[in-house]
Structure 1
Amino acid sequence: MNNSVRSWFSGPPWAFSCLEAGLLLAVGIASAAPGCAKDQVNVDTAGEEDDDTTGDGDPSAESADSNMSTGDGDGDPGTTTGFVPMTDGVSTNTCDPAQQDCPEGEKCTGYVVEPGYCCVDANKCVDVIGNGQLGDPCVRTEDNDDCAVGLFCMTVTSGSTGDGVCLAFCDVGAQDCSEDGLPDATCIAFNDGILPLCQDSCDPLTQDCDGQLGCYGVGAQGFVCSVPGYEDGLGNDGDACFTIQSCKPGLGCTAAEVLDDCGGSRCCTPYCDLSDPDPCTAPEQCVGYYEDGTAPPGYETVGLCAIPA
């Protein structure tokens, strides 16, 4: 699969994330996920992974592998995302990050309405304070960053502050990012469409992302490269998770009810190849990540180790 923009980020009870990006699909396992509850430490969601969590990050997104189905999230695509608003004296008029319809000297960017929330949940016009270009390192504050107009500084989740990388906003109506000069990237509407970002596609079975990035599900739109967000000592098979990126690369965050041994509401479980004879540990089996006939091209054999319905 082509990878042109390496990003930082992450139905059935399978997936969730607040990818600011972050994403959940149906079971299959995929369900849309953009959106996370504000009391969860989640990632952005993209729209089709699991409604209560999810992708970029990254959550109010449904994604955490909810397709089995999904959602920062940052996941999703654009279904639930997890963001919180906050006011700071800057104009808070609603704006469109794809159109960049703010006054001269300002840019439209995502922010967290309530300080401390994981994921972006609103957009507003803010002063342009930098000129970071696509792929450049950047620094994000609670409601602004030093990327140029039309770009967003993605950290571990869209609502996190600190060091990140500049990613391009996109028009979800276009679906791909060719108009943004990224023909091999996909426009993922993280967090219920509040955070539409260009993301590289990837293969969850081979984990073919560059560097330390992991390949995470964003529901109906497939899988994208994102920055892992698991804590030290966690993120392994059977560990509790709250966002798609809180599992190590190669694992998906899935609802406890479809797993054999899970101490939380969701736990990490391996992605698997439906064509392999016995890739999972009994009583779990390799269950299709997508419902029959709904998988995006190239993802027809992707599954998650879970207990069949």
Structure 2
Amino acid sequence: MRVSTRFLFVLALFGCDPGVLDPILTGGGSGGSMSGPASTTTTDPTPDSTGTASDGSTGAISGDSGSTCTTCDDPTGAVFVVPPGPPAACDVYAQDCESGFKCSAEGPPPLDSESIVCSSIVAEPDQAGESCQQLVLGHLGPDTCDVGLFCDHADPQTGTGTCAVMCQGSSSQPLCDSASACFGYHEIPLCVPHCDPLLPSCPAGDTCQYAGVDFVCLGVSDLPANQLFEGCGGDWQCAPGLNCVDEDAAVECIGGGDGPGCCSPYCALDNPACPGVGQQCRPYYDPGEAPVGLENVGVCALP
């Protein structure tokens, strides 16, 4: 359980924010990052059927794009059935396309199972971490990345992005290296790097955000990001070094804006320093719950 002053973002994680990811935490869109925004909650994530959570345990946090409502209530009181989408043409985890092709996304957004096809691999494809190109501007793909990679963080004006590693294994047991966690964005699960909010080292356009157990680099929803004490609706709206807490965490919090929360800094428990009047550096995690290496993480809030 995290510090109780953190803003409650359960609604954003569990189905009320279009475009929110389906994080699949493990140990080992069209423009912008596919690995962007995560959410924060003051309660432990609830497992569902989409994957594994928190370094190998079962369960996942699902955004609205990862769940299917089969019997939904209409505001009038009527109940209707939403059929599931058709299956994807290939398996992005298994990369089961024939030689010369990769399982990836093509076509215009929004991304859904019908976007997943066997896409031709270009000659001399780009590798992980290298610059890449979406071959059809404004489309999800095809792109110039090699098999098992996806052109992420694509600039909507130029189609230029960076080759990101797709998760391997399966949706029930996704695999990434020990420095990354698997985040599934609809049908494209990507390995995103772990990070330390006190020593942020995320790529441009990403911030170090809490994601179920520890922190990973995820995209900021809108740039420029919100600054100190500005309103927010989630960590993904705050600038690096800040997280979204309850608006009563600082007397300086600016009401309104992008949500009922307030962007307040992370702080080091062994060297506490907070900018707000009366703020204290409070532990981010309850005693004994911090992952290894994150025991010193705190958040600035009023007592």
CA distances 1:221-275 after superposition (whole Å, capped 9, x unpaired): 522345555424x420122335544321111234547665342233322111223
Show the 5 A alignment for 1:210-229. Answer: 212=204, 214-226=206-218, 228-229=220-221
> What is the aligned partner in structure 2 of residue 64 from structure 1?
39
Check whether the contact 2:267–2:300 (CA below 8 A) recurs between aligned residues.
yes
**2:238 paired with 1:247:** yes
> What is the aligned partner in structure 2 of residue 124 from structure 1?
116
Residues 255 and 105 of structure 1: is their aligned pair in 2 closer, same or farther, counting only changes over 3 Å? farther
Whole-angstrom distance in 2 between the partners of 1:241 and 1:101: 42
Whole-angstrom distance in 1 between the partners of 2:289 and 2:95: 34
Whole-angstrom distance in 1 between the partners of 2:42 and 2:157: 25
Whole-angstrom distance in 1 between the partners of 2:213 and 2:159: 28
Whole-angstrom distance in 2 between the partners of 1:107 and 1:290: 41
Check whether the contact 2:22–2:184 (CA below 8 A) recurs between aligned residues.
yes
**Total equivalences in the alignment:** 252
Residues 220 and 156 of structure 1: is their aligned pair in 2 closer, same or farther, counting only changes over 3 Å? farther
**2:262 paired with 1:270:** no
> What is the aligned partner in structure 2 of residue 138 from structure 1?
132
Percent of pairs with identical residues:
28
> What is the aligned partner in structure 1 of residue 289 from structure 2?
294
Deviation at 1:58, TM superposition (A): 1.2
Which secondary structure state, in structure 2, belongs to the residue aligned with residue 196 of structure 1? strand
Give ranges in structure 1 of 5+ residues lacking alignment: 1-10, 15-25, 49-54, 85-90, 178-183
> What is the aligned partner in structure 2 of residue 196 from structure 1?
189
Instruction: Tell which structure's C-alpha radius of gyration is larger.
Output: 2
Deviation at 1:56, TM superposition (A): 5.0
RMSD: 4.4
> What is the aligned partner in structure 2 of residue 80 from structure 1?
62
1:166 to 140, 146, 163: 163
Give ranges in structure 2 of 5+ residues lacking alignment: 26-32, 47-52, 55-59, 67-85
Whole-angstrom distance in 1 between the partners of 2:158 and 2:213: 27
Which secondary structure state, in structure 1, belongs to the residue aligned with residue 132 of structure 2? strand
Deviates more, 1:276-285 or 1:163-172: 276-285
Which secondary structure state, in structure 1, belongs to the residue aligned with residue 264 of structure 2? strand
Check whether the contact 1:139–1:164 (CA below 8 A) recurs between aligned residues.
yes
Structure 1 counterpart of 2:146, one-letter code: A
Structure 1 counterpart of 2:166, one-letter code: F
Structure 2 counterpart of 1:197, one-letter code: L
Show the 5 A alignment for 1:144-183. Answer: 144-146=141-143, 147-155=145-153, 162-171=159-168, 173=173, 175-177=175-177
Deviation at 1:283, TM superposition (A): 4.9
Deviation at 1:168, TM superposition (A): 0.7
Check whether the contact 1:240–1:265 (CA below 8 A) recurs between aligned residues.
yes
Q: What is the TM-score with the length of structure 2 in the denominator?
A: 0.62
